[in-house]
Chains A and B, each alone.
Chain A
Amino acid sequence: EVQLQQSGTVLARPGASVKMSCKASGYTFTSYWMHWVKQRPGQGLEWIGAIYPGNSDTSYNQKFKGKAKLTAVTSTSTAYMELSSLTNEDSAVYYCTEGSSYFDYWGQGTTLTVSS
């Protein structure tokens, strides 16, 4: 059974950086893209970017270049996203989801609240 287990709720200060994780199980981690999706309260889904753990190739939404950094550790089947220079606009739920063209498995989401 494929599972994506995300790290817990985060409270951060404006200007800080945070790193969240997504631990995969039940499939070959290195063979599928891992994507990250942002959802602000009451808003739609926004694709941040993706990493291919097999070779660490990445693709980013231009909007999130410089904001998000995607990495992956194959030995632990864990993907990471680091968000930097946080503002209130970064307060959201962040999902990891695996797939190539479509996304058939999703994590439970990590809630980030940015507040002073």
Chain B
Amino acid sequence: DIVMTQSPATLSVTPGDRVSLSCRASQSISDYLHWYQQKSHESPRLLIKYASQSISGIPSRFSGSGSGSDFTLSINSVEPEDVGVYYCQNGHSFPRTFGGGTKLEIK
């Protein structure tokens, strides 16, 4: 199985900061890497697909990069509503696997 490792586990930031969340796959998954945001008591929401492709309705401050086994989700100018947990997901092969998540907190 492909293991997805996210870092850091928690990120405490100030509104307006630019932040980067990391996701590493245990083997190459090309660009089959997808990012989700989950707010408290809500279902996850797709943020970025195929490592860097934007999703309709998602604010442009969210962007993704990377390929192979190293990926980054960037949030340009964090807003208070961005609080939540961010997950990366292997979409290359079965079993689909998720990273452990990065919890974003606002100072």
Contact = CB atoms under 8 A, between A and B. Distances in A.
Contact of B95 (A59, A95, A103, A104): A59
A47 B46 contact: no
B71 interface: no
Given A46-B98, A47-B97, A104 B43 contact: no
A102 B89 contact: yes
A81 to B, nearest CB: 15
B46 A104 contact: yes
Nearest to B34: A102
B62 interface: no
Nearest to A100: B91
A39 to B, nearest CB: 9
Interface stretch (A8-16, A18-26, A106-114): A106-114
B87 A45 contact: yes
Dominant SS among interface residues on chain B: loop
Interface in A41-78: 44-47, 49-50, 59-62
A43 B38 CA distance: 12
A100 B32 CA distance: 11
Contacts of A109: 43
B44 A106 contact: yes
Given A44-B87, A108-B43, A102 B98 contact: no
Contacts of B92: 101
Interface of B: 1, 32, 34, 36, 38, 43-46, 49-50, 55, 85, 87, 89, 91-92, 94-101
Given A61-B95, A102-B46, 16 more contacts: A44-B87, A44-B99, A45-B38, A45-B98, A45-B101, A46-B98, A47-B98, A95-B44, A100-B91, A101-B50, A102-B34, A102-B89, A103-B34, A103-B44, A107-B43, A108-B43
8 contacts: A35-B96, A45-B36, A45-B87, A60-B95, A62-B1, A95-B43, A101-B49, A101-B92
